[in-house]
Amino acid sequence: MNLQHDRSAWLHGPPSVCQAQPVHPRQCRRLVLLGAPGVGKGTQAAFLSATFGSCHLSTGDVFRTARQCGRENSSPALKDALTRMNRGELVTDETVLEIIRERTTCLACRGGFVLDGFPRTVPQADVLDAHLGYEGMVLDAIISYELPLPELVIRIGGRRTCPVCKAVYHVDSRPPRTPGACDTCGSKLIVREDDQPDAVLVRQEAYQRNTAPLLEYYAKRKLLVHVDAQGTPEEVFARTITALGDKR
Ligand code: AMP
C-alpha cells in the first residue's frame, strides 16, 4: 500500500486535512489495541501501521501534541485533560469523545486504522461501535497484549519517547542509535511525565478498573485475540501477525 502516513489530521484535528492516499483498500485493517500501560501498544501499532498501511491513531498522542503546541489553556476541558494525564488518571469520557467527534473522518478512512488508547472505557467502546455502524464498517480484530505487572514496570522505567515524531525507544531493549536522540528526526528523547513512578501506579489501576472490562465486551463478539507481549518488539509483532491469522 502506497499510503503516505500523515497523522496531522488526527494529531491536530480540524482544520488539518489528511493528505494520505490509500490505494489498496482491500488490504486495510481496522484494529483496536488493548493492554496495560507499558505493554508496548505504541510500538506494535507502528509496526502494524507500516505493514497494513492503516493509520496509527493514538488518543494519548493527541493530548501530548496539544500540550506540546501550548494549547493547555485553549479550553478548560483540555486543561483538565492534561492535568489528569500528568497524574496518570484517565481523561473524562466527555472530553475524549469530543476529541473523537472532531476526528471521525480518520475513523471512516478507507485505509483503515490502528486504534491505540481508544476505546478505554465501555461508554467509549459503545460510541466507537455506533460510529462504525453508521459508516457501515466493522472492526477486524481487537488485540489484547498481555504482560505481568513487574515486567510492565521495567518497560515503562526504561521508555524514552520522541516529543516530535512520537517514536518510542527503550534504553535496554530498543536503544536509539545515538543515545538520547531520535533515530528518525534527531530530536532529544524525553521521559513522558506520566511515565514517572507515581503516575505509573495510577495508570495501572485505571487500566484494571476501566479498560480491562473491555476484554469481556469484545470477547463476546469473537473479535478478541490475545498476544503474549514478552520478548523483543519483533517477536511480539510476529506473534501478532500469527494471532491475527485470517481475521479481517
Ligand atoms: P497513552 O499514550 O495511550 O498511554 O495515553 C496517555 C494518557 O492519555 C492516559 O493515561 C490518559 O490520561 C489519557 N488518555 C488517552 N486516551 C484516553 C482515553 N481513550 N480515555 C481516557 N484517557 C485517555
Annotated catalytic residue within 120, 166, 174, 239 = 120
pLDDT of residue 197: 85
Return the sign of the alpha-carbon dihedral for residues 35, 161, 57, 1.
Answer: negative
pLDDT tens digits, residue range 54-95? 899 999 999 999 988 888 888 899 999 999 999 999 999 999
Q: What is the distance in A from the centroid of ligand 1 to the CA of 195? A: 12
Residue 111 · residue 84 · CB < 8 Å:
no
Residue 142 · residue 34 · CB < 8 Å:
yes
Question: Span 218-228, mean pLDDT?
Answer: 93
Task: Sketch the domain layout of the chain as residue ranges.
Answer: 8-148+208-247
The CA-atom distances, in angstroms, between 164 and each of 59, 64, 98, 126, 248 are 15, 10, 24, 32, 32
- Tell me the whole-structure pTM to 2 decimals: 0.90
pLDDT of residue 248: 67
Cα R_g (the chain), whole angstroms:
17
Question: Span 151-179, mean pLDDT?
Answer: 91
Q: Is 63 helix (H, G, I), strand (E, B) or coil?
A: helix
pLDDT tens digits, residue range 7-18? 888 888 888 887
Tell which wins on pLDDT, 71 or 170: 170
**Pocket of ligand 1, candidates 84, 85, 126, 162: which has the most ligand atoms within 8 Å of its Cβ, to mutate?**
85
Q: What is the CATH number of domain 8-148+208-247?
A: 3.40.50.300
What pairs with residue 161 in β-bridges? Answer: 168, 190
